Amino acid sequence: MPQLELLLDTHAYVWLRDRPSKLRASTRSSIEGAARLLLSVVSPWEIMNKRLGRSDPGLPPELEEAEPDGFEILPVLARHLERYRKLPAHHRDPFDRMLIAQAQADGLVIVTADRAIRAYDVAVLPA
């Protein structure tokens, strides 16, 4: 089986970090054997955004380390913005749309449980 370059959707990253049993066993195995594990810079931003209005627990762990849990942080680059701009509006969540654009532009597989992402021309590994 070829080693994959995986970009984890925000919820898949949180599951892996906090509740790995929520991920399929085959998905955990793919993550363990991945050639590259990536976490988009938009994921910590999404986590912070969803915490707005709640008591402030501080920065999410994803922002406290340069490379959390062996992940490579994927910045938002001009090629991602160009791809984002051209995406059809199948999915309204801007964070997920950026993950889709990044995966398309960089040939990555998204680890996600979000079925709406499958409407796009992007490789998906079910979480």
Per residue in 19-64, pLDDT (tens digit) is 999 999 999 999 999 999 999 999 888 887 776 555 555 555 555 5
Q: What is the C-alpha separation between 113 and 13, in angstroms, rounded?
A: 11
pLDDT tens string 98-107: 999 999 999 9
CA distance 85 to 97: 10
CATH number of the domain at 5-126, please? 3.40.50.1010
Structure tokens at 120: 């796009």
For residue 104 the two structure tokens come to 């398309």
The pTM of the full predicted model, rounded to 2 decimals, is 0.86
Instruction: Using DSSP, state whether 124 is helix, strand or coil.
Output: strand
Q: Which residues contact 73 (CB under 8 A, 6 or more apart)?
A: 38, 39, 40, 41, 66, 67
